[in-house]
Structure 1
Amino acid sequence: MPIEWHKVTEGAPAAAGAFSHQGGRPFATLRLWPHRSLPLAGFVGVMAFTGLMFLVPLAPMIGTPVFWGLLPFICLAMAALYLFFLRNYRDGELTEELTVWSDHIALIRHNPRTPNQTWEANPYWITLSLHADRGPVRNYLTLAGGGREVELGAFLSPEEREAVFDDLDRLLKRLPY
């Protein structure tokens, strides 16, 4: 699952309040990232297999003018496939990092091609919601607070969003205020 929790077992700092965030060690950190359905070794395999399959109809044409007519199109198709895979891998670098202190919560979305997006609030005042059927996807997970509502784990499956909701709900209920 593309979900990673780092929880501190020592407990949260004693000082809490709306404006008392002093930094320090977070109570928990959640890191989310999209699935990688094709690892790098698989990418190399797909490119090699595609190149070999292009050679099957091209091999009998070697030494003829047809070979030179087909070669640019085959090279163009291989280059396009390579560039699209690179774009997919670059888009997969997206991550979301949710850090929870007893008096502060921060969400940072690290985008591959645009600046990072951040959201911060006091965990006492946030609302964690899992919209089973309402929203653009099933089990739409949102955090509301600090004057905004943000989506969490847009790239996760509905079951993974539900698991994140359960874990985060338990964590927020255990925070000392």
Structure 2
Amino acid sequence: MPYKWTTAPESSAQEMRLWPHQSLPAKGFAAFILTTFTLILIPTMTLLGTILLWGILPFAMLAVAGMYFALQSNHKSRQIEEVLTLDNDTARLIHTTPKGEVKEWECNRYWTTVTKYEKDGPVPQYVTLRGEGREVEIGAFLSEEERIELFDDLQRSLKR
């Protein structure tokens, strides 16, 4: 589950940290690029010593470079983090975008409501927090099943 609840031992504040699922770790990324490079070069072995190798080699390297930059771009766009802090009086959500922008929302915990839009949101099972005249999304990058569990967890935590 790409979110985790923590409770500070000296206070009653709860903190939930959410992040997108990262299915390709750094070692897997390197292995994938190396495997792609190797598999592209296998057919070119028969062309060693011919002029055709120099005609095909730039396109093979372009394919490997394209794969590398596409995976790097995807990794950078997944650098999202949301931190929801619940203490006795307030609920506070801090959303950090991939570009490093920080968006904050704060509300009295008593008036905070959790809403789940099963089909009306931008994604199925869209979860929002509402309070202080604003409605903010939470966990939109999670899978549908994870958003359902998140909704249940948030309802339980806000009732305490």
Q: With structure 2 as the length reference, what TM-score do the two structures score?
A: 0.92
Cα-to-partner distance string for 1:55-114 (whole Å, 9 max, x where unaligned): 111111122111111111111111111111111221222111111111111111111214
- Select the residue among 20, 35, 47 that pairs with 1:61: 47
Q: Relative to structure 1, is the Cα distance of residues 122 and 171 closer, same or farther in structure 2, using a 3 angstrom cutoff?
A: same
- The answer on 1:36 being equivalent to 2:2 is no
Correspondence for 2:63: 77
AA matched with 2:140:
A
Show structure 1 runs of 5+ residues with no match: 13-26
Cα-to-partner distance string for 1:112-164 (whole Å, 9 max, x where unaligned): 21411111111111221112232122211000112211111001112111111
Q: Which protein is richer in strand relative to its size?
A: 2
- The answer on 1:47 being equivalent to 2:39 is no
CA RMSD of aligned residues (A): 1.5
Distance in 1 (CA, whole Å) between partners of 2:41 and 2:86 is 55
Distance in 1 (CA, whole Å) between partners of 2:79 and 2:85 is 19
The 8 Å contact of residues 91 and 112 in structure 2, kept in 1 or not, is answered as no
Distance in 2 (CA, whole Å) between partners of 1:7 and 1:159 is 24
**Alpha-carbon shift at residue 11 of structure 1 (Å):** 6.0
Show structure 2 runs of 5+ residues with no match: none
| 1:26-175 superposed matches below 5 A | 27-174=13-160
Distance in 2 (CA, whole Å) between partners of 1:58 and 1:109 is 48
Q: With structure 1 as the length reference, what TM-score do the two structures score?
A: 0.84
- Runs of 4 or more, structure 1, over 2 Å off, are 7-12
Distance in 1 (CA, whole Å) between partners of 2:92 and 2:123 is 24
Q: How many residues align?
A: 160
Percent of matched pairs sharing the same residue: 44
Distance in 2 (CA, whole Å) between partners of 1:161 and 1:130 is 9
